[in-house]
């Protein structure tokens, strides 16, 4: 599906899950922010009958780029910050990383730390989102700003709980790189200079900016490593971090597997 003003939009369904079943299509979508939907975009989205939008951003991000859905019956927007305090500025939180250097490698370390923070600090919120989806808040759309970090971690956890092989989870995660050129183009002027980026990012070399706007396998690896360190196993993370019961997992699989 092609949308003119929404980046990184896709259905997470269609991949093999537990017990030889497939993740249902048309149940859970993921994307970047929704502040610039055109009339054509809204008409394209209308047949999906999206019921709930889980907005993973912070309050400041929502204020700067509010979700605007003014066509037909608008979905219920559920604001639930994941990984960051609701009053935190995610871009500003990277400032300390770039005090040590501005090379692409520093950006990669910043994104690895971000993925770990989302997985650990965001665990209770992730659990609430997945429980709500299992209990009927579908079709659902999960999104953040670029639709790759917070949305990427939440989508990865959902797919793993549905029994999707980890390699397929990585494949879905890495598909966000397809949106990087459009994302950078949206935030640069006619000469390619940063014009719509937070100052802490706009001042960085373009190679470093590209890393920040991309995803790498190592980012998600850092999230999984943090889970192992903090909880000892993924199963313990599900029970004690996401706070999902076996009954919650069964309900989720019943709804999202076919």
Which domains does the chain possess?
10-240 (3.90.190.10)
Nearest by Cα to 52 from 24, 28, 68, 76 = 76
Q: How far apart, in whole angstroms, are the C-alpha atoms of residue 146 and residue 255?
A: 27
Instruction: Name the nearest CA neighbour of 111 among 39, 197, 186, 210.
Output: 210
The count of residues in the chain is 258
Q: What is the pLDDT of residue 13?
A: 97
pLDDT 10s digits, 51-86: 999 999 999 999 999 998 887 788 999 999 999 999
Q: Rounded mean pLDDT of 109-114?
A: 94
pLDDT in tens, 156-190: 999 999 999 999 999 999 999 999 999 888 877 66
pLDDT-derived band of residue 201, with 50, 70 and 90 as boundaries?
confident
Q: What is the mean pLDDT of residues 92-101?
A: 79
Query: What pTM, to 2 d.p., does this model score?
Result: 0.94
Task: Give the torsion through C-alpha atoms of 103, 104, 109, 112, to 10 deg.
Answer: 160
User: Of 159, 139, 156, 134, which is closest to residue 147 (Cα–Cα)?
Assistant: 156
Query: Is residue 35 pLDDT above 80, yes or no?
Result: yes
**Mean pLDDT, to the nearest integer, of 28-56?**
95
What pLDDT does residue 2 have?
80
């Amino acid at each position: 599906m092609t949308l003119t003003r929404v980046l990184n939009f896709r259905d997470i369904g269609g991949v093999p899950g537990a017990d030889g079943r497939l993740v249902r299509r048309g149940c859970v979508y993921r994307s970047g922010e929704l502040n610039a939907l055109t009339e054509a975009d809204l008409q394209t989205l209308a047949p999906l009958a999206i019921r709930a939008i889980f907005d993973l951003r912070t309050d400041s991000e929502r204020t700067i780029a509010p979700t605007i859905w003014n066509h037909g019956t608008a979905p219920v927007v559920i604001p639930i910050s994941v990984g960051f305090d609701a009053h935190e500025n995610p871009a500003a939180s990277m400032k300390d990383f770039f005090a040590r250097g501005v090379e692409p490698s520093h950006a990669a370390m910043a994104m690895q730390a971000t993925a770990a923070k989302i997985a650990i600090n965001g665990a209770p919120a992730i659990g609430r989102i997945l429980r709500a989806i299992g209990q009927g808040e579908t079709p659902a759309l999960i999104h953040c700003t670029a639709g790759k970090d917070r949305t990427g971690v939440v989508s990865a956890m959902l797919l793993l709980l549905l029994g999707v092989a980890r390699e397929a989870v990585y494949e879905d995660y890495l598909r966000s790189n397809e949106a990087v050129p459009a994302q950078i183009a949206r935030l640069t002027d006619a000469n390619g200079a940063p014009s719509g980026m937070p100052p802490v990012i706009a001042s960085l070399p373009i190679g470093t900016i590209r890393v920040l706007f991309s995803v790498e396998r190592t980012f998600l690896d850092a999230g999984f490593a943090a889970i192992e360190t903090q909880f000892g196993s993924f199963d313990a993370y599900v029970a004690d971090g996401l706070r999902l019961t076996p009954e919650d997992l069964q309900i989720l699989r019943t709804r999202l597997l076919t």
